[in-house]
Amino acid sequence: MRILISDPVEQTCADILGAQGFQVDLRPNLPADELRRIIDVYDALIIRSGTRVTAEIIAAAKRMKVIGRAGAGVDNVDVDAATRQGIVVMNTPGGNTIAATEHTLSLLLSLCRNVPQANESIKQGKWERSKYIGTELSEKTIGIIGLGKIDREVALRCQAFGSSTAPEEGLWMKEPPVNHQLVQHPRVIATPHLGASTEEAQEKVARQIALQVVDFLKERGVSGAVNAEALQTALKSEVKPYVLLAEKLGSLVAQVMNGQLKKVVVTCSGASLFPSVELLTAAVLKGIFTHVMSEPVNLVNALVIAEEVGLLVEQQKESERDSYTNLITLRYETNKEARRFSGTVFGNIHPRLVRIDDFLLFYSNIDRPGMLAGVGAILAAEEINIAGLSLGRDQPGRKALTVINVDSPIPPDVLRKLGEIDGVFEVRAVRL
C-alpha cells in the first residue's frame, strides 16, 4: 500500500510506516491541483494543518482508505465528503495537550506580569519598573471557557499557583486574523497558532498518527476516528462474527428480494449486541448495497448512502428471543413483498441463518418418493411460495417430519387439501 505525507511531519512518522512495509512518499507543500492529480494512487494520506483536503480531492482519491491528521483539528478536511466515499478520518487529539497547556500558562503568566510590554520597553533602552506592576495568580478565581482536555490540564496546573480554575486559550476563526484591532489592544497578548509547536508535541503526534494508520490498514483496530465511531468496535473478536453475519444477511436480501427496496429494519436481540446496533445496521446495508451499486460501500458510508437513496432504515433492540442468546433479525419491505430473516453465531465463529419469514407449515408424512412434490403442487396452485424447508425422519421408509417456510399465510381450505394427500397427516400452519 502507498501512503502520501503532504505536510511537514516529523521523520518518525515515515520511519514507522516504512518499517511496517508501506511505501511512503514525502511530498510536503503540494499545490492543490498537483495533489488532486496524483492522489488516486494512494491508500492513505497523512497531513497537518497545511493541506486542505477538499471534496474535489477526495472525489479523486479512488483508493483512499484513511486520512490521518497529525494533530487535533480536522477543519481542513471535508469530513462529510470523506464519509460519503467511505474514507475514515482520524486525528490525534491528545498528542499536543501538554504543549497547548503549557502555552496557555505562559500567556496567562505573561498577561499577569506584563512580560511582553516590559520586554519591549527594555529593548527601547527604558527602565520602567513602576509602569508594569502586575498581579499574582495566587488566590484568584480564573474564568474558564470549556471543559476539554486542555482546559482540565490547565486547571490542574493552576492549582499549584493557588488558583481555582483556568481559561482555555482562544483561536482565531480565520488564520491569520484580518482584523488587528483586538491584537493591538494594550491588554491583549496574542501569538500565532503555537499551542502545539514544541519539539516534543510534534514528535508525539507524528508517532501517534503513524501507529493509528498502521493499525487501521492492517485491520488491528481503529482509534482516533472522527467519522466512524462504530468501526472502533468492528474489529473486536466478540463483535466481528456478528458483523460478518449482518453483512451476509444483507447480501441474502439483495439476492432474493423482489421489487424496489423501501424499508429495512434491523433488530438486535441480546444485551451484548446493544452497543453495536448501529455498526450491525451498517453491515447489513453494506451487504445489500454491494450487490446493487457499482460504487464502493463500506461500514463508514453505508448509512449515509441509505439516507441519500431515500431508504427508510430502523434500528431496534429487544431482549433475548427463544433459545438464542444473541440474534440479528433483518426485515425488509419492497413495493411487492415483505420478508424476514434471522441469524445468529454458533461457537463464536460460525454465522448461521436460523429463521426465514414468519409463516411455517408443519406436517408428518410417510417417507417415500413424491410426498414433497404433492405438497408443493398444491401450494403452487394456490400461489403460496416456498421460501425454504427442512426434512427429518426416524429411518428410511417410516415416519418423517417436514417443515416448510412460506411467504404468506396458508388458508384453512389449503390445509385441508394437504391433509387429504395419501401419506400426509398432522398438518399444521404456524405464524411466528
Residue 166 amino acid letter: A
In the prediction, which pLDDT does 321 show? Answer: 59
Nearest to 98 by CA among 46, 156, 143: 156
Name the fold adopted by 232-352: 60s Ribosomal Protein L30; Chain: A; (3.30.1330)
234-266, pLDDT tens digit by residue?
A: 777 788 899 999 999 999 889 888 888 999 999
CATH 3.40.50.720: which residues of the chain? 2-95+201-228
What pLDDT does 159 receive?
87
Q: Quick: pLDDT tens for 73-120.
A: 788 999 999 998 989 999 987 777 888 888 888 988 998 988 988 898
**Residue 168, pLDDT above cutoff 70:** no
Please give the CATH number for the structural domain made up of 2-95+201-228: 3.40.50.720
pTM of the model as a whole:
0.66
pLDDT at residue 6, rounded to an integer: 95
Return residue ranges of the chain for CATH 3.30.70.260: 359-431
Q: What was the pLDDT predicted at 272?
A: 86
The residue-averaged pLDDT of 282-310 equals: 89
Rounded distance, CA 341 to CA 252, Å? 9
Residue 171 has pLDDT above 70, yes or no: no
User: DSSP string of 77-145?
Assistant: B-HHHHHHTT-EEEE-TTTTHHHHHHHHHHHHHHHHHTHHHHHHHHHTT---TGGG-----TT------
d(CA 122, CA 217): 55
Which one of 7-21, 222-236, 254-268 scores highest in mean pLDDT? 7-21
pLDDT tops 90 at residue 212: yes
- Position 263 scores a pLDDT of 94
DSSP 218-244: TTS---SBSS-TTHHHHTSTTTHHHHH
CA 401 to each of CA 370, 371, 415, 430: distance values in angstroms, whole numbers, following the listed order: 14, 11, 16, 15
Cβ atoms 158, 148 nearer than 8 A: no
> Is the bond leading into 176 cis (omega within 30 degrees of zero)?
yes
Are the C-beta atoms of residues 267 and 318 closer than 8 Å to each other?
yes
Residue 60: what pLDDT? 95
Per the document, the length of the chain is 432
292 versus 54: the higher-pLDDT residue is 54
Q: Which residues contact 149 (CB under 8 A, 6 or more apart)?
A: 93, 94, 97
| Range list for CATH 3.30.1330.90 in the chain | 232-352
pLDDT at site 200: 81
pLDDT band at 58 (very low <50, low <70, confident <90, very high): very high
DSSP 8-class letter at 160: G
Q: Is 406 helix (H, G, I), strand (E, B) or coil?
A: strand
In this predicted model, what pLDDT tens digit does every residue of 33-53 receive, in sequence order? 999 999 999 999 999 989 999
Q: What is the mean pLDDT of residues 368-390?
A: 87
DSSP three-state, residue 346: strand
Q: Find all residues with CB under 8 Å of 110, minimum gap 6, and list them.
A: 116, 189
Place of cell 413495493: 335
How far is 331 from 249, CA to CA, in rounded Å? 10
Predicted local distance difference test score (pLDDT) of residue 209: 94
Name the CATH code of domain 359-431 (choices 3.50.50.60, 3.30.230.70, 3.30.70.260, 3.40.30.10).
Answer: 3.30.70.260
